[in-house]
Amino acid sequence: MTASTIGMSAFEIATLVRSKQVSAAEVTHEHLALVKARDGDLNSFLQISEEAALASAKAVDEMIAKGEDPGALAGVPIALKDNLVTRGISTTCASQILKAWKPPYDATVILKARAAGAVALGKTNLDEFAMGSSTENSSFGPTRNPYDLGRVPGGSSGGSAAAVAAKFAPIALGSDTGGSIRQPAALCGIVGVKPTYGLVSRYGLIAFASSLDQIGPFARNVKDAALLLQVIAGHDRMDSTSLGGPVPDLLSDIENGVEGLRIGVIEELIDGVSPMVGTALDSAANSLSAQGAQVEHLSVPAVKYGLSAYYLIAPAEASSNLARYDGVRYGLRVEGQDMNETYVASRTKGFGPEVKRRIMLGTFALSSGYYDAYYGRAQRVRTMIIDSFRKAYESFDVLLSPTSPTTAFELGAKAADPLSMYLSDVCTIPTNLAGHPAISVPYGEGENEMPIGVQILAPALGEANMFKVARALERGAPLIAKKLFWE
């Protein structure tokens, strides 16, 4: 290998591998070596699949030697959030209750990434069962921010975000239920995408809240994120919520600029953000305006109720989904004197505090006498939010907001205050409730020189315009001057 591939984009690596200027095996060895050398400080990976990764890389090189095309991600290292099931490799959801479970099948997105030539390096850390905004709720210890080891990377997909930011892999997969891709992307200074609900198969994603969960990409640039989304998108008969129709072309129009596009800045999502985040949003709006977009402020009134509705709907669905972890079929089993004691003991030992908190909240919201007052009303609010967005998109092509109200906070700063932690997702949650796509793009630095993210929102299946605006925003974005912890 003549030059290091660390820090290269997915496009660059795939081009070099296809042209035989570097082998997939060399790329994989180099990235694995960096993970081994540096991740002890970061804790972004829960496990490294070295043998499987090298076997995948060898298969890519053999295809190229035969004159075959291994795919759009030929030899590109990828990190996988550990709530995506992987055949024969532990999938824990960062929970003791699944600590030793090895699934008998692969998630659809993993099969698609592998078919496109990607090389999976291992499974990344997360808040237990994807419940959290800081990756401090993992039962295997917190992940740290690559720009400041004393700060959080965001969550719940903090391991994947940190791994990409630290250059351990150019791309990664995460899941987003209320902001769990976009918020850590913002805090780690990378790109994170929540696609339209149903555009990407959820088969093999361990469920948190099934009407909200969606798998999406992390990358260090917008084009790599678009490439990975295009690879994993498409109908899957194994997922009843999967959308039909062709996979959208996200790359052919991505460099064509924003001339004439109508962009609205959401007033309700500016309230309460830190001054430097607000300044960055203003700068982003001005940049898009200077590039020819029509930028105006607008009101989307119902989004201010998003947080309240989400923290009834998501825990209610979690309460139902997590009922299957009972110590009987798989996962942790703690014996009691009878089955009821076994259930209680297994779940008491297996689940962490935040998961228990949300199960209890959701069970209460679904209980007799409270269902209509809480869960039913939250669903009506969700309909209001969908209607508010529908009206907004009658006048605007895309919308703009902060991704997170603050930059990365210190480890432990919000751990004892769940409400303060929940507020970290106030800007991202409305999109999940609506089922629409959104992307976070890094836009300079804020408090403590930590990265800031700006969010672009689009209507359902509006990813092509969303990526076009994101690329324009990226072109004019201030650079992140702060160095990674190992540089």
Residues with a known catalytic role: 81, 156, 180
- Take residue 248 and report the two structure tokens written for it: 């959208």
Cβ within 8 Å of residue 62, ≥6 positions away:
none
- Take residue 104 and report the two structure tokens written for it: 């008998």
d(CA 80, CA 110): 8
User: Which residue in 427, 462, 441 sits closest to 179, CA to CA?
Assistant: 427
Any idea how long the chain is?
487
Burial tier of 5 (Cβ tally within 10 Å: 0-12, 13-18, 19+): buried
DSSP letter, residue 453:
E
**Residue 425 near residue 307 (C-beta atoms within 8 A):** yes
Cβ within 8 Å of residue 483, ≥6 positions away:
147
Cβ within 8 Å of residue 419, ≥6 positions away:
none
**Residue 120 near residue 110 (C-beta atoms within 8 A):** yes
DSSP letter, residue 196:
P
Backbone angles phi, psi at 299, to 5 degrees: -105, 130
d(CA 355, CA 130): 9
